Structure 1
Amino acid sequence: MRSTAHHADVVIIGAGIAGLSAAHLLIGAGLGVSVLEAEPRVGGRLATDEVDGFRLDRLGPLLCTSWPELTGTPGLGAPELREFAPGVLVHSEGRRHLTGDIRSARGALKAVRTRSSAPRAPWAPRAPRAAQSACGHEHGAPARGGGRGGVVTGAIDRARLGAALSRLAATPQARLLARPERTVAGSLPGVGLPGRTVDGVLRPLLTALLSDPALTTSSRCADLALRDYARGGLCVPAGGSSALPELLAASLPPGTVRTGVHVTAADITSVRTKEHGELGCRSLLLATGAGAAAELLPGLRVPSFHPVTVLHHTAPAPPPTGRSLVLDGDRSGPVAYTAVMSEVDPSRAPEGRTLITSTVLGTPPPDLDRSVRAHLAALYGVPTAGWELLAAHHDPEAVPAMEPPHDPRRTVRVLAGLYVCGDHRDTSTVQGALQSGRRAAEAILTDLAVPGTHEGSPRLPEAA
C-alpha cells in the first residue's frame, strides 16, 4: 500500500464530510489515500464565513444529538454541539406557542402544568380563554384583524403527539422502511392525530427537518427524520457547521488533503488535474455533490434539489425567544424557521452582540431582506427596522430531494474500482453523508481484499 505525490491506493475527489470520513476509514485500514478538493477549503456546502467577528453558516443544517455518526465517526472525536431548547416555538395567528418537549407525552404534559402554575408577567397581555387552556405558553399580541389567539394544539393533543413520537423512537429502522411509501403531504392526513396538531406542529417541523416546503419528500424519510428528532434534540456544531469537516481534515495525516486542485477527467486507475497532471490510483471515490459527480461520470442520475437561502442579521438586542427554534406555523412569509443563534451558540457572535439566523426555503422573494425582516418582526414580535443584514447565501442545490420512491441506501459501488458517496446516495442530511462515506469505504476495502481490517472494525448503529 503506498501513497506518493503522483500515486495513491485510493483517490477521493471532494473534501466534504462524506469523502473525509471515508478517508479516515481507508487510512485506518492501511491504504494510501489522496483527497483532492477544488475549493481553497474543505467542507463543501458545510462552509462558515467570518464577518466582523461573526461566524456565519452558508447553509447551516439542523443536526440531531441522536445521530451516532456525530460521536462515532473516526476523526470527529466528540465535537462540541450546541442544543436548541426542548420543543419548538410555533408562530400561528399572531402568537408564538411553546410546545414544550413534544418528544414525549410526559414532557408535553409537564409544559402545560408549568404554564398553569406560572404567574403571568405584569407586561404580558391576557390571552383568550381558549388559548390559555390549550397552549403551553403564549408570547406576543393577538393578530391584527381580530385573530382568534392562535390555538395550535391542546394539552391532550400534545400528549398524544408525544406518545406517537415515543413509539416512533422505539421503532426499528427496517420496519419504518417497510411502510407504504407516499409523499409526506399525502401521508399526513392519515397519521391519526388531530388536524390542528398536524398543521400546527408536524407540518412546520417536518418542513424544517426536510428543507421541503411542499412536503414532496418520501414519507419513509420523514419517519426517519422524526425518529431522529424523537430520540434526541436539535443542535448545531459549536463555531459553525464548518467545524465538522475541519475536525475530520485536521486529524488526517499531513498531505492527505490537497485543496485548490481541479480534476478535469477521471477513471478507475488515474485522475487528471489542471495543477498536478496525472495521478495514478487503484480505486477512485467521487465524493462531490451530485451534479459535479455526474460531470465526471456521465450517466450518473442527478436528483432534483430543494433551494435554501440563509440570512444572518444582527440586532441591538436579542428577541425574547432564548434558545428556541421558531417555526412559521401559518406559512405567512418567506421564513420557514429562525433562531437567535447567539443564544444557541455564543461562539458565533462577538461578546455582547446578537446574531439571528433565518432560513428561507424554495425560491427567495426578489426583495429578500425587506420581506424577511417584515416576516421576522411578526415571528419575534419586535421591530426589525434597525436590524442589519450581515450576509445572505442562496444555494439552488442545497438539499437533494428525496421524492418517492426513494432508496436511502443507494449503491455506492458503480463497479469494482469506482465508487460514489454523498448525501445524494443516502438521506439528504449530514448523517446521510457520513453514512454514505462509511459504506463507500467498506465497499472499497472489500473489493481490494484488505485483510483483517473492515471485517472486524466496529460498526456504528444503523440510523437515518
Structure 2
Amino acid sequence: MEKSEYTINIVGAGISGLVAALVLEKEGYSTTIYEATDRAGGRVKTDIYEGFQLDHGFQVLLDAYPMAKKYLDMDSLALQKFLPGAVIFKDGKNKTLGDPLRNVSLLIPTLLANIGTVSDKFKILKLNNELKAMSLEQIFASKETSTLTYLKDRGFSDDIISSFFKPFFSGIFLEPNLETSCRMFQFVYKMFGEGLAVLPKAGIGAIAEQLASKLKRSNIILNTPVERVLEGKLVLADGKELPSHYTIIATDASHLTGDLIMETVTWKRCETFYFTTPKRIIPRPLIGLIADKDALINNLFFHTSLEMANRGEGELLSVTLVKEHQLSDKDVLDRVVQELEQYCGITELTFLKRYQIKKALPQLTNLQYSMTPQQTQWSPSIYLAGDHHLYGSLNAAMTTGEMAAKAILEHMKTTS
C-alpha cells in the first residue's frame, strides 16, 4: 500500500496523541485525531476568563524533561521561570527555602528559615549528588517504596518532611501523604536539580497549541467522542463506524475496547481556585506552601509574579487542594478564603473560578521510565499511549505517543 492509502486514527488530542501524530507525519503518513472536547490538549489546557489566562489546575513544565527538549520549541513558548524554592507558611510565619547555588538571592532567607536540621541540609546535598549521578533508567530500576518511606530511610527529620517535602511534593503528586512511588520522587527531584520549573507566557495550554500547530497532514476533529475501538474500525458516540488500518488510543482505554478486557485506570483528583487580589504577598515567582497538617490548602501561587500574555486587573492567585473533603461548593470556598487569611494573611479576595479536576494524574505503582514500541501494541491494529502507561508526567505522555507511532511504523515494515 502507498502511504496515502493507510487510515490511521488517533483517539484523544492530548499530548501523547499529538506527539504520535507528529512522529507519523515525519514519515509521510496522515492521521485523523478524534477529540471528545472542544480543543486539543487533554489535561493541558488554558482558559481566558475575566481577562486572565487560567490553566486547568496549577501546572508547570520542568524544562529538563528530555522529551520536552525533543518535541517543543522552548524559545517560542516564551518560558517564564520560577525561582528554585518555596515560601513555607507555618505557625503564623512565612519562611523562604530555596537553592542558593542556583539563585544567590535565596541564600540569606534559606539560612534564616530554620526549617529542618543541619543534618537535613547535608542529607539534601548528598541526595542532590546521588541523583545527579544516576541515569533516569537507573532511577526507574531502583527499589520501589513510597516517597515517605524513602525519605525516612534516608534519615530526614520529621520537621523537614512535614514542613517542606510533604507540602511541596503533595502538590506535584496530588496526594497528601507521600504514598507515591519513590521512583517518581527521584525523577522529579532530579529534573528540578537539572533545570527549572517554567510556564509558557500564554499558559500551560500553549504547549498543546504548539504541538497541534506543527501538524500539517493530520486532521483534528473536535467534539467527537469515540464509543468503541475494535479491530479494523472505531465507533463514534453517534453510532457512526469508521474504518481504521491502525488506531492509537491516546487516552484511558478501559471503556473503549469492548470485549478486550483492560485494567481500569485509577485517577487522582484535585481542585484549583482562582482569585484576584489587590496585592501579592509573595512578590517573586515562588510557590507558597501551607505546612499546617490541618489545612485544606496545599499550595498557592501568584501567577502575576510571572509575565503573562493575558492579564486582567489586579494580581492573579491560584490555590490548590489535594486532600479529600465532603464540603459543599459554598463551604469549601468559604474554607479556602478563611485559610488564606488565617495562614497567609491574604484578604480582599475576589473569586474568579474553580476547577474540579477528576482525572488529574494516574495513580500507579511499578513505575517504568519507558516502554518499547512493541509494548504499546494491544492487538493487531490497536496501540496504546498516554502517561498512565508509565508515570504521570508530560515527559511520559510524549514518550508513549512516540513509542506507539514507532510501533505502527515497524508493523508496516514487517507487513509490506
TM-score, normalization by structure 1: 0.80
Name which of 258, 262, 281 aligns with 1:319.
281
- Equivalent residue in structure 1 for 2:12, among 11, 14, 18: 14
- The corresponding residue for 2:130 is 167
CA contact (8 A) 2:117 2:157 kept: no
- Aligned Cα root-mean-square deviation (Å): 2.6
- Cα distance 1:396–1:199, how it changes in 2: closer, same or farther (>3 A)? same
Of the candidates 227, 233, 240, which is equivalent to residue 277 of structure 1?
Answer: 240
Residue 431 of structure 1 aligns with an amino acid whose one-letter code is N
Shift of 1:192: 3.0
Please name the residue that 2:321 is paired with: 360
Tell me the equivalent position of 2:402.
Answer: 438
The separation in 2 between residues aligned to 1:438 and 1:77, in whole angstroms, is 22
Q: Return the alpha-carbon distance in structure 2 between the equivalents of residues 186 and 435 of structure 1.
A: 28
Residue of structure 2 equivalent to 1:48? 46
Q: Any gaps of 5 or more consecutive residues in structure 2? A: none
The CA distance in 1 between the partners of 2:215 and 2:254, in whole Å, is 27
Show CA shifts across 1:43-67 (max 9, x none).
Answer: 1122211111111112232321211
156 and 180 in structure 1: CA distance in 2 versus 1, 3 angstrom threshold? closer
- Whether 1:243 aligns to 2:206 is yes
The aligned runs of 1:343-422 (5 Å cut-off) are: 343-350=305-312, 352-364=313-325, 365-366=327-328, 367-382=331-346, 384=347, 386-402=348-364, 404-409=365-370, 411-422=375-386
CA shift, 1:154, in A, is: 4.9
SS of the residue corresponding to residue 88 of structure 2 reads: strand
Instruction: Give, in whole Å, the separation in 1 of the partners of 2:75 and 2:20.
Output: 15
* Counterparts in 2 of 1:356 and 1:278: CA distance versus 1, 3 Å: same
CA distance in 1, matches of 2:391, 2:400: 9
CA offsets, 1:245-286, max 9 Å, x none?
111112212662111223233223222335693322211100
Q: How many residues align?
A: 406
What is the correspondence of 1:49-448 to structure 2 with a 5 Å cutoff?
49-73=47-71, 78-101=76-99, 106=101, 111-112=106-107, 114-115=108-109, 135-137=110-112, 151-154=114-117, 157-253=120-216, 256-274=219-237, 277-288=240-251, 290=252, 293-298=253-258, 299-350=261-312, 352-364=313-325, 365-366=327-328, 367-382=331-346, 384=347, 386-402=348-364, 404-409=365-370, 411-448=375-412
Q: Distance in 1 between matches of 2:242 and 2:75?
A: 31
SS of the aligned residue for 1:362 comes to coil
Alpha-carbon separation, structure 2, partners of 1:195 and 1:108: 27
C-alpha contact (below 8 Å) 1:317/1:354 kept by paired residues: yes
Equivalent residue for 1:143? none
Q: Distance in 2 between matches of 1:227 and 1:24?
A: 28
Alpha-carbon distance between aligned partners in 1 of 2:104 and 2:303, rounded to the nearest angstrom: 28
Contact persistence 2:303–2:316 (CA under 8 A): yes
Distance in 2 (CA, whole Å) between partners of 1:437 and 1:255 is 15
Higher Cα Rg: structure 1 or 2? 1
8 Å CA contact 1:305, 1:397 repeated in 2: yes
Q: Could you give the per-residue CA deviations for residues 379-404 of structure 1, whole angstroms, max 9, x where no partner exists?
A: 4333x2x21110001122211112x3
Kindly provide the amino acid, as one letter, of the partner of residue 111 in structure 2: G
CA distance in 2, matches of 1:46, 1:276: 28
Moved more, 238-247 or 202-211: 202-211
Which amino acid is 2:257 matched to?
Answer: L
**Is the partner of 1:294 in helix, strand or coil?**
coil
Identity of aligned residues (%): 21
Say which is worse superposed, 236-245 or 169-178, in terms of deviation.
169-178
